[in-house]
């Protein structure tokens, strides 16, 4: 009985890690960025939702304005002489108008105490633009750099985001109201409605992503960029746009995960890193290239965490991260050395 409860617990946590792992793999194959701050989208989304539920204007609106402005200025400086009217109109709309509109919308809606559905939609709408802004701020200028350079940039972005998180959300932790307080029993194991929703939403997201990549033109274009960057450019696929869309998808996935875990645990401004790191372990198991393996790895990590916490709660995290070592050893022994360019 305990065994099956732990299994269910592990699988439920695993699906959240699976979403994160998919986001990580996605960003890596298209842009070669190892996005350590993926978990930060999760914690920011959770904090944003919690703030909405308390009737406060979340700090995210300030963050969005700041990042939008920064991305705009950086791009303006980078392109300088090559700025066209069309580009200017488009960027003002996405970088300055969008955060301003979101700010106004949030400030207007918060006192009206909207219901949970509206709060969730607002949260997703606030967090998703963060991805493209970060891409344009930190990673697009480094498009041609090596994976190592991009990783170092990633660490820098993580540190900056954590500090910004402290500025905009403060040091206190928050927990949101559950989406469902139901409890039901299946084969002798108690499962909460919240857990069922978490698994269902994760599965829907995975199917939707699969459909996106398999059936739509945008998805196929992104896969093309992932397979061969220069080849994709040759056939007219804009690399930086692919990068922006990828980052937007990653932040959307992170936002959904954040909304799902917000009622389950206390989230602080620095919680995201640890959650993202566990998703990272799962992505490593998938070799940072295969989605099904990443999902399987995530479920494995979830189960490992559950059973490790049961065996000795003090070593819970130690066990999870120590499994990285044998996995990396195995992979480096079996995988051939991969060339950066074709």
Partner 1 sequence: MPRSAWRTLFLTAAIFGAAAGTAGAGELTVGINLPQTGPGSSFGVPMMNAVSLMPPTIGGLKVNYVALDSRTDVTQTAANTRKLISENKADVLIGEAVTPTSLAMVPIAGEAKTPLLATSAIKSLAYPVDDVRRWSFKIVPDDDTTAPPVVKYFADKGVKTIGIIGFNDAYLQVWTGLFDQLLPPTGMKVIAVESFERSATSTTPQALKLIAAKPDAIFVAAGGTPAVVPIRDLRQRGFKGIILAGHGIGLPDFIDRGGKDVEGVVMVGEPFIVWRDLPADGPYHKLAQKFVPAYQEKFKADPPIMAAHLADCTTLLEMAVPEGLKRGQPGTQEFKDGIRDALENVKGLYLNNGLLTNSATNHAGYDPSGEFVMTVKDGAFHLVK
Which positions touch partner 1 (CB under 8 A)? 2, 5-6, 9, 12-13, 16, 54, 169-175, 177, 181, 183, 190, 192, 261, 264-266, 268, 271, 274-275, 306-310, 313-314, 316-317
Q: Closest approach of Cβ 323 to partner 1, in Å? A: 17
Query: Do the beta carbons of residue 259 and residue 42 sit within 8 Å?
Result: no
Q: Closest approach of Cβ 147 to partner 1, in Å? A: 27
Residue with Cβ nearer partner 1 (179 or 261): 261
Query: Do the beta carbons of residue 254 and residue 45 sit within 8 Å?
Result: yes
Query: Do the beta carbons of residue 326 and residue 319 sit within 8 Å?
Result: no
Query: Do the beta carbons of residue 71 and residue 137 sit within 8 Å?
Result: yes
Dihedral of CA atoms 58, 63, 66, 68 in degrees, nearest 10, equals -100
Give the span between the Cα atoms of 77 and 89, in whole angstroms: 16
Query: What is the phi/psi pair of residue 306, to 5°?
Result: -60, -50
What does DSSP assign to residue 289? T
Query: What is the residue whose two structure tokens read 């490790």?
Result: 308
**CB neighbourhood size of 94 (10 A):** 18
Residue with Cβ nearer partner 1 (165 or 243): 165
Q: Where are the beta strands (DSSP E) in 9-78?
A: none
Residue with Cβ nearer partner 1 (115 or 314): 314
Q: Closest approach of Cβ 300 to partner 1, in Å? A: 16
Residue with Cβ nearer partner 1 (22 or 242): 22
Q: Which two tokens stand for residue 93?
A: 């709309």
Residue with Cβ nearer partner 1 (149 or 177): 177
Q: Closest approach of Cβ 191 to partner 1, in Å? A: 10
Q: Closest approach of Cβ 232 to partner 1, in Å? A: 37
Residue with Cβ nearer partner 1 (314 or 332): 314
Q: Closest approach of Cβ 199 to partner 1, in Å? A: 13
Residue with Cβ nearer partner 1 (156 or 170): 170
With 0-12 CB in 10 A as exposed, 13-18 as middle and 19+ as buried, what is 172?
exposed
Half-sphere exposure of 237 (CA within 13 A, CB side): 24
Q: Closest approach of Cβ 311 to partner 1, in Å? A: 8
Give the span between the Cα atoms of 39 and 246, in whole angstroms: 16
- Rounded to a whole number of angstroms, the CA Rg of the chain reads 20
Residue with Cβ nearer partner 1 (13 or 38): 13
Query: What is the phi/psi pair of residue 64, to 5°?
Result: -60, -45
Residue 209 CB contacts under 8 Å (≥ 6 apart), including other chains = 22, 26, 249, 253
Residue with Cβ nearer partner 1 (138 or 320): 320
Q: Closest approach of Cβ 10 to partner 1, in Å? A: 9
Q: Closest approach of Cβ 37 to partner 1, in Å? A: 15
DSSP 77-105: HHHGGG--HHHHHHHIIIIIIHHHHHHHH
Query: What is the phi/psi pair of residue 145, to 5°?
Result: -75, 170
């Amino acid at each position: 009985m305990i065994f099956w409860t732990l299994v269910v617990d592990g699988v439920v946590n695993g699906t959240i890690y699976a979403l994160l792992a998919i986001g990580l793999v996605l960003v890596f194959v298209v842009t070669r960025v190892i996005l350590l701050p993926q978990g930060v989208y999760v914690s920011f989304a959770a904090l944003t939702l919690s703030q909405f539920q308390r009737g406060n204007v979340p700090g995210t609106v300030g963050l969005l304005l700041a990042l939008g402005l920064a991305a705009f200025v950086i791009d303006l400086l980078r392109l300088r002489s090559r700025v066209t009217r069309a580009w200017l109109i488009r960027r003002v709309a996405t970088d300055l108008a969008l955060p301003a509109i979101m700010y106004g919308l949030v400030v207007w809606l918060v006192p009206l105490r909207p219901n949970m559905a509206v709060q969730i939609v607002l949260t997703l709408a606030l967090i998703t633009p963060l991805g493209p802004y970060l891409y344009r701020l930190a990673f697009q200028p480094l498009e041609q750099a090596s994976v190592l350079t991009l990783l170092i940039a990633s660490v820098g972005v993580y540190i900056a985001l954590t500090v910004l998180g402290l500025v905009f959300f403060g040091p206190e932790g928050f927990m949101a109201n559950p989406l469902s307080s139901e409890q039901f029993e299946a084969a002798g194991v108690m499962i909460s409605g919240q857990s069922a929703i978490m698994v269902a939403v994760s599965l829907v997201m995975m199917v939707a992503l699969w459909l996106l990549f398999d059936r739509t033109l945008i998805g196929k274009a992104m896969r093309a960029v992932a397979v061969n960057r220069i080849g994709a450019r040759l056939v007219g696929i804009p690399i930086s746009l692919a990068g922006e869309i990828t980052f937007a998808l990653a932040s959307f996935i992170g936002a959904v995960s954040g909304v799902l875990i917000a009622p389950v645990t206390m989230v602080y401004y620095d919680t995201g890193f640890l959650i993202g790191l566990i998703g990272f372990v799962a992505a490593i198991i998938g070799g940072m290239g295969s989605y099904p393996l990443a999902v399987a790895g995530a479920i494995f990590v979830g189960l490992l965490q559950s059973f490790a916490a049961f065996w000795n709660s003090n070593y819970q995290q130690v066990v999870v991260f120590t499994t990285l070592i044998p996995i990396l050893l195995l992979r480096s022994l079996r995988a051939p050395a991969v060339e950066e360019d074709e």
